[in-house]
Amino acid sequence: MPAWDLLLTNAHIATMQGNHGAYGVIENGALGVADGKITWVGPESELPSRDDCKTLSLNGRWVTPALIDCHTHLVFGGNRAEEFEQRLTGISYQEIAKGGGGILSTVTATRNTSPDELIKSAAVRLQSLAREGVATVEIKSGYGLDVENELKMLRVARSLSGSSGISIRTSFLGAHAVPPEYEGNADSYIEMLCKEALPQAVGEGLVDAVDAYCENIAFSTDQIARLFEAAQSLNLPVKLHADQLSDSGGAKLAASFQALSADHLEYTSKEGVTALADAGSVAVLLPGAFLTLGETHLPPVDIFREKNVPIAIATDCNPGTSPVCSLRAAMNLATALFRLTPEECLAGVTREAARALGLLHDRGTLETGKRADVAVWNIGHPRELSYWLGLNELAQLFVGGHEVLRR
């Protein structure tokens, strides 16, 4: 007889297993948890007899995998509401960046903010994600741009996990912009990242993956290739901000390093998509940045579908191009702006987001053996999770079988 710590009954379950029909639905289902893992999931009528255990009837509510935000810059000092107003008068993001504003103004603010203050402001944004059912959040560095401050950001990101119950994955984004100390000398900056910043951050256990910004206002493919070689020699997976503002060969570069994901991709060519398909990399789409920048060039969604490139969706929460602290809003935007289906959106913040973090073996779908990260919703069908904008129907959130939130 199975012994469970927790049994959820009287639920409709969207398992999000890719090969189990739309949403992987099990109507009138049940889900058993032992030692923080899912040990049984199926129709309630097939439940085996069992020892007594804590049982929770969900009264016909829907259950999905807890959501995953696989691309955020959640930790930063200050904000850029002033720049936001400037952009509304017609000054472009690139012009502001070239004038020393943009990312570099957040670098100054982040360097001048203490770890405690960074934790406080990021925790507010993290709670905003969690109360909509997000249990795993990727957080990048990239606003420190020197050894001390990149490590400070990563330590802050790691510490957010303990205080929230949310699982945090970190990405080293030292190659986000050229810092003022290295102006005109991006090659030396990359060398410093490879020889000092990255190895030290890895030595402290602060890095789960290495990311970079491949763009004509940031780093070239050659520079990033050097960083990615350093990442590989440290056994770290890579991912890339690719082809966001121009086709700069980012997707192809990412694919050549078997990247977990390539992100943004508005300007990616068919060749770039084919390379991602061959490498098994995930395309992470970021509709919040598309919206905020008033972008009109659409990512090649039809070609992703044709080539079976998995599509994830994330907030890209950052103070410049995506002040978005709602993954549910990103799902809705992805339907409106990119014409993704509600099922693609939900897969994009569960199964495919897990894949984009290299965590699909552990979460992202509801199946036995995976961590019991479960969201319970007051909805009539999972398509509603992409339909409503600004309505929060989360009832409960479980992480590793423990309830971390109830509304």
Contacting positions for ligand DI6 (CB under 6 A): 102-103, 106, 176, 213, 241, 244, 289, 316, 318-322
103 binds, among ligand DI6, Fe ion, none (CB under 5 to 8 A by kind): ligand DI6
Rounded to whole angstroms, how far apart are CA atoms 146 and 160? 21
3-state secondary structure of 94: helix
Q: Which is nearer to ligand DI6, 277 or 327 (CB)?
A: 327
For the CB of residue 5, give the shortest distance to Fe ion in the complex, in Å: 38
Token reading at 112: 């001048």
Cβ of residue 242: shortest distance to ligand DI6, in angstroms?
A: 10
User: Residue 267: which residues within 8 A CB-CB, separation 6 or more?
Assistant: 243, 244, 245, 246, 247, 248, 297
The residue among 345, 333, 330, 342 whose CA lies nearest residue 380 is 342
Please tell me whether residue 264 adopts helix, strand or coil conformation: strand
Which is closer to Fe ion, CB of 316 or CB of 344?
Answer: 316
The smaller minimum CB distance to ligand DI6, of residues 171 and 322, is found at 322
Q: Which is nearer to Fe ion, 272 or 288 (CB)?
A: 288
Residue 14: CB minimum distance to ligand DI6, A: 30
Residue least distant from ligand DI6 (Cβ): 320
CB of 284 to Fe ion, least distance (A): 9
| Biggest CA-to-CA distance, the chain | 70
Nearer to Fe ion, 150 or 316 (CB): 316
* Residues in CB range of 386: below 8 A, 6 or more apart: 331, 332, 334, 335, 342, 345, 346
83 lies in the site for Fe ion, by CB under 5 A: no
Closest approach, Cβ 277 to ligand DI6, in A, equals: 23
Tell the residue number behind the tokens 């994330």, with chain if given.
314
Q: CA 241 to CA 86: how far, in whole Å? A: 24
For the purposes of burial, counting CB atoms within 10 Å of the CB of 391, is it exposed (0-12), middle (13-18) or buried (19 or more)? exposed
Among 316, 344, 352, 373, binds Fe ion (CB under 5 A): 316
Minimum separation from the CB atom of position 370 to ligand DI6 (A): 31
Please check whether residue 135 is in contact with residue 401, taking contact to mean a CB–CB distance below 8 angstroms: no
Rounded-to-integer distance, Cα 395 and Cα 133, Å: 9
Cβ closest to ligand DI6, residue 16 vs residue 177: 177
Q: How far is the CB of 93 from ligand DI6 (least distance, A)?
A: 7
Q: Which window, 50-58, 189-197, 223-231, 309-317, contacts Fe ion (CB under 5 A)?
A: 309-317
Q: Is residue 243 a contact point for Fe ion (CB under 5 A)?
A: no
Question: Out of Fe ion, ligand DI6, none, which partner does residue 69 contact, by CB within 5 to 8 A per kind?
Answer: none
